[in-house]
Structure 1
């Protein structure tokens, strides 16, 4: 069963409506352009959970053509992280250790971004595991239905705006 895309759309329009252009909703993922910031991105919220959440978790894949940055992954985690927390992303059989901030995580390099996006294109689900600032392990889960199309739409959307 597909979950509603309303949380995704609410997340995407959290700032003023005129700041984002919708490039489409594809499965569980949406694609948006921010002409003012000269970036485009694909984004999805994590699966619903009854577990404690400090933040609304989401995954995004962003492109900034004028900075020559393409398909950079970013994860907003559901909880504030422990200091020096290990954050691990699992996509199919692939595992990636991520760089972590207080409640965010990123790939370690541009080549790791590319490997993560490649894995996302081939899998149906992904999960992120970490330890929160209270010492508890937690996981955020994502449906990857539509991720590849949304990533492509974001990349094409920014190419057309250059």
Structure 2
């Protein structure tokens, strides 16, 4: 299940990044709930960690493939950029809310992905992920369905450590 979902995520990640010249991603290592991956693109290397939710709500709807990704692109000066990837288009004017322990982060929506609204808060979200045990991601689909996803943060620190020196 995780490998199939990861392969789908890799294809989605490449397509959403507009990286037509990117090579197929390679899994570096699996760290409990988080996998570390890399691929070559336009002469540089992109590394990222990825996980799938342990729970999806409401159970009665088709969520598609859902992922949370943290990417590292040294050639583009991007370090630990969190992104929520949904298997459906989200409501255009909505926000995605990420909660870890008592810390809340707001992500802006574009199509089926969401990024931290205030880029200056990206390090705080990543730090909260490293220190937390579970993460909840809440979104609203284009149809207006409120969704919620729970992720295990087990292995996130080791996975991020593995991609720290991405090159």
Cα 1:53–1:103 shift into 2, 3 Å = farther
Residue 40 of structure 2 corresponds to residue 40 of structure 1? no
On the 8 A contact 2:67/2:85 being kept in 1, the answer is yes
Partners of 1:118 and 1:70 in 2: how far apart? 13
- 2:124 matched to which residue of 1? 115
CA RMSD of superposed structures (Å): 2.1
Partner Cα separation in structure 2 for residue 23 and residue 95 of structure 1: 30
CA displacement at 1:141 relative to structure 2: 1.4
Secondary structure, counterpart of 1:96 in structure 2: strand
Asked if the contact 1:8/1:29 (under 8 Å) is kept, the reply is: no
Instruction: Specify the alignment match of 2:7 in structure 1.
Output: 10
SS of 2:111's equivalent in the other structure is coil
1:64-143 superposed matches below 5 A: 64-143=73-152
Asked if 1 retains the 8 angstrom alpha-carbon contact of 2:36 and 2:48, the reply is yes
When residues 8 and 132 of structure 1 are mapped into structure 2, their CA distance, relative to the original with a 3 A threshold, is closer
- 1:28 has 2:38 as partner: no
Secondary structure, counterpart of 1:19 in structure 2: coil
1:90 and 1:10 map into 2 onto residues whose CA distance is 26
1:86 Cα deviation after fit: 2.3
Aligned: 1:52 with 2:52: no
Aligned to 1:147: 156
Question: CA shift at 1:85, angstroms?
Answer: 1.0
What displacement does 1:5 show?
3.5
Q: Provide the C-alpha distance between the structure 2 equivalents of 1:89 and 1:141, rounded to a whole number of angstroms.
A: 10
C-alpha distance in structure 2 between counterparts of 1:36 and 1:45, whole Å: 24
* Structure 1 residue 65 displacement after superposition: 0.5
TM-score under structure 1 normalisation?
A: 0.83
Deviations 1:90-122 (A, max 9, x none): 111100111111221101233211111000001
Greater strand percent: which structure?
2
Unaligned residue ranges in structure 1 (runs of 5+):
none
